Amino acid sequence: MLTSTTTPRTVAVLKPPRNVPALITYATGIVRAVDGNASLPSPVPPVADLQSAIDDLQAAETDAQTRARGAVATRNAKRSTLVALLQQLRTYVQTRADASPESAPAIIESAGIAVRKPMPPVARGFHSRPGRVSGSVELVALSAGDRASYEWQTSVDEGNTWTRLPTTLQASTSVAGLTPLTTMVARYRVIGKQGEGEWGQSLAVIVM
């Protein structure tokens, strides 16, 4: 079931560097923090898988420095693999933190991952509610009148990139196909007689 955030929630934020050597250092720090961490007894993915991905990226980065044909593409693929595993780990850490709200900041930071406070509720009444089927959610905005339409966007990476949803004439829309134990961020803007309005404050929606 999907519910919108109604109480303050401590959010784990992954910030993998784009620079490969920096990413290797960043990921290594996380592995050291997670390995044997009593607050994270069964990491997903396992520490061994993360370490293997780090080792693979290190080797690929070394090969890329030789400028051999295909080495850069291989290095980039290894980087993507490591970042994907780190994202899986962030989800696991977030799940552990959500299970112990009072200890959430300490749990997240103990994994070597940054903490971000949740976005506050939108003042104009923008909110979400569970959809009719599992993995869906309905977004509801404050009505701007009969002649208004609404543009919607969602993000699954903390607002770094946005996906546009179909424009609606109603002050609501539905999103389906969401993944449990992740956070979706949504926003909207009104299109009225004066043209497009500004994007409103974002709303975080937890996939439970």
Q: Which three-class secondary structure state does DSSP give residue 69?
A: coil
- CA dist 161 and 88 (Å) reads 18
CATH 3.20.20.450 fits 127-207, yes or no: no
Q: Which amino acid is at 30?
A: I
Tokens of 20: 């490969």
Q: Which of 142, 104, 74 is nearest to 8 (CA)?
A: 104
Q: Which of 115, 92, 82 is nearest to 40 (CA)?
A: 92
Residue appearing with tokens 């993995």: 135
Q: Where are the domains of the chain?
A: 11-116, 127-207
Q: How would you write the pLDDT of the chain (208 residues) with one tens digit per residue?
A: 444 444 467 899 999 999 999 999 999 999 999 999 999 999 999 999 999 999 999 999 999 999 999 999 999 999 999 999 999 999 999 999 999 988 999 999 999 999 986 555 544 589 998 888 888 899 999 999 888 999 999 999 988 899 999 999 999 999 999 987 788 999 999 999 888 999 998 999 986 6
